[in-house]
Amino acid sequence: MFDDGAGRGDRPEGFGITTMRQRANTAAGTLTVEDAFAPRSGDGATGTVVALSVPRWGGRS
């Protein structure tokens, strides 16, 4: 998922991201959250990229 907002900057992760990380971990997956730059806009606009990766037949027993 890409958000074309202001990016995270130096702000700590909030409750929503923390909860998403916990859910990804429960499904044996990973959640990556990174600041992103949109070069095609030409104005140095930033945003945030959130990527979730889970195994096809995931879950922990």
Output the pLDDT for position 59.
53
Q: CB of 7 within 8 A of CB of 39?
A: no
Tell whether the model's pLDDT for residue 21 goes beyond 60: yes
Mean per-residue pLDDT, 27-35:
89
Q: CB of 26 within 8 A of CB of 54?
A: no
36-59 tens-digit pLDDT: 776 665 666 577 888 999 988 755
Nearest to 4 by CA among 33, 32, 41, 52: 41
CB atoms within 10 A of CB 31: 19
Q: DSSP of 8-46, one letter per residue?
A: -TTPPP-HHHHHHHHHHHHTT-EEEEEEEE-GGGSS--E
Output the pLDDT for position 44.
61
Instruction: Please give the model's pTM, rounded to 2 decimal places.
Output: 0.64
